[in-house]
Amino acid sequence: MDTNTIKPYSYIAETYSRFGITITRGSGTRLWDDKGRQYTDFTSGIAVCSLGHCNPHIVEAVKAQAERLFHVSNLYWTEPQLKVASLLVENSCADRVFFCNSGAEAVEAAIKLARKYGHDTRGPDCFEIITLQGSFHGRTLAAITATGQPVYQRGFEPLPPGFTHVPPNDIRALELAAGKRTAAVMVEPIQGEGGVRPLTDEFLQAARQTADQLGALLIFDEIQVGMGRTGSLFAYEQTPVEPDVICLAKGLAGGVPIGAMLAREEAMKHLGPGTHASTFGANPIACAAAGAVLEQLLETDILRQVREKGQYLMEGLRKLASRWDKVKEVRGRGMILGVEFKKAMPDLASWLMKEGFLVLVAQGLILRLLPPFIMEKEEIDRLLDALYRYKSSNP
């Protein structure tokens, strides 16, 4: 297909504002476009390709599985699904896994579980889910309603009932919002899309306590911060609490579409046969990829690298911030880091792209870095150098 004459991009729905490049190849921390230009990827495809592009372990697992079995539906067991489920359960506070294909579906499954659990244990009036302002939980109707940002909801009303939002880290507001209708409290331990905003230990403890007092569920949306991103397999491991439900997706299969909703048996037993389903859920190829990702995270020193190189990048950014008036704050943990500016930096991402770096910007205001865990210190240094150059043209 000649992309210059027939402009196939005009066939695509314009739901995204895109950078005008076409990526054709990836390897490790690098991507190449159709003009042969090389980029160092500080986005990991939005926290997905955390072990690098075309990671050989994942490629090998996917190839082998593709030659063996693509799909059989959930009427039967498959080996890759059992392996991933057992690795997730054996290494978390959860007891069972429901597989789906994306983050929004994992959130949707958690919302359905919370409602079913609320109905079964406390009656039909117990269906409300408390989430946080500035949160992001995905794009299905229920997920945009859970998402505490009106910009994602406008024009799609009427939204499903049963969601309340409170400001992050506001314990009093949470306690006031919670009551006999509350089926669950759902939070991201670090808000990702919302601009890399960590929740305080005190707030998470209050959320745990509130849920316990009511008999409600505490749901952690770890779709962005799970799977090693913060330096532990799950982000909750670095907080003082354990959730009842964990949503995973993005990094779980290193770039193959997958989602998972993990829960304690006490909750998950309320989703019996016929209550929820997904044709593609636990797809053998996706699960083979997830199995390879989990093996890498559990059996190599990659999580230590996330902590160490994340710290290195954080220190570099803090040093830059101390010399740059325009920076308001540097935040994050492990390899999810944000630099908030006092004023919007509308050209920062495209300027860095011309310099050969791919980065994310949240709300025009926050540089969000989600590098692959295999990013080398020299590559981090080169990004920091580029940021210093940008700074000298924007003092």
Ligand X SMILES: *Cc1c(COP(=O)(O)O)cnc(C)c1O
Nearest to 163 by CA among 182, 137, 140, 190: 182
Q: The tokens 């500035």 sit on which residue?
A: 134
Which residue is catalytic, options 163, 250, 357, 373? 250
Stretch that binds ligand X, among 85-93, 219-227, 311-319, 339-347 (CB under 6 A): 219-227
Task: List the interface residues with ligand X, window 171-210 (CB under 6 A).
Answer: 188, 192-193
Which residue is catalytic, options 221, 234, 357, 373? 221
Nearer to ligand X, 58 or 362 (CB): 362
Q: In the set 223, 297, 339, 360, which binds ligand X (CB under 6 A)?
A: 223
Bridge-based pairing of strands 163-166 and 128-132 is parallel
Peptide bond into 80 cis (omega under 30): no
Nearer to ligand X, 181 or 229 (CB): 229
Site string for ligand X, 25-64 (x = CB under 6 A): ----------------------------------------
Whether the Cβ atoms of residue 284 and residue 65 lie closer than 8 Å to each other: yes
Stretch that binds ligand X, among 77-85, 101-109, 166-174, 204-212 (CB under 6 A): 101-109
Tell whether residue 108 is a contact of ligand X (CB under 6 A).
no
Nearest to 190 by CA among 234, 146, 153: 234
Query: Cβ contacts of residue 240 below 8 Å, gap of 6+?
Result: 201, 204, 205
Q: How far is CA 221 from CA 103, 109, 367, in A?
A: 9, 12, 22
For 247, phi then psi, to 5°, come to -100, 130
Site string for ligand X, 239-278 (x = CB under 6 A): ----------xx----------------------------
Q: In the set 51, 107, 113, 261, which binds ligand X (CB under 6 A)?
A: 107
Q: What is the DSSP letter of 142?
A: H
Least distance (Å) between residue 286 CB and ligand X: 13
* Three-state secondary structure string covering 313-340: HHHHHHHHHHCCCCEEEEEEECCEEEEE
Q: Decide if 127 is catalytic.
A: no
Q: Decide if 221 is catalytic.
A: yes
Tell whether residue 310 is a contact of ligand X (CB under 6 A).
no
Least distance (Å) between residue 252 CB and ligand X: 10
Least distance (Å) between residue 231 CB and ligand X: 17
Stretch that binds ligand X, among 103-111, 179-187, 264-272, 294-302 (CB under 6 A): 103-111
Tell whether residue 131 is a contact of ligand X (CB under 6 A).
no
Tell whether residue 138 is a contact of ligand X (CB under 6 A).
yes
Q: Decide if 342 is catalytic.
A: no
Tell whether residue 128 is a contact of ligand X (CB under 6 A).
no
Bridge-based pairing of strands 259-263 and 96-100 is antiparallel
Tell whether residue 104 is a contact of ligand X (CB under 6 A).
yes
Strand ordering across the sheet containing 327-333 = 327-333, 336-341, 366-369, 360-362
* Strand locations in the chain (E): 23-27, 30-33, 38-41, 96-100, 128-132, 163-166, 182-187, 190-191, 197-198, 217-221, 245-248, 259-263, 327-333, 336-341, 357-358, 360-362, 366-369
Which residue is catalytic, options 127, 136, 220, 373? 136
Q: In the set 81, 102, 145, 239, which binds ligand X (CB under 6 A)?
A: 102
Stretch that binds ligand X, among 2-10, 16-24, 33-41, 132-140 (CB under 6 A): 132-140
Tell whether residue 136 is a contact of ligand X (CB under 6 A).
yes
Write out the residues near ligand X by the rule CB under 6 A: 102-104, 107, 136-138, 188, 192-193, 221, 223-224, 249-250
Q: List active site positions.
A: 136, 221, 250
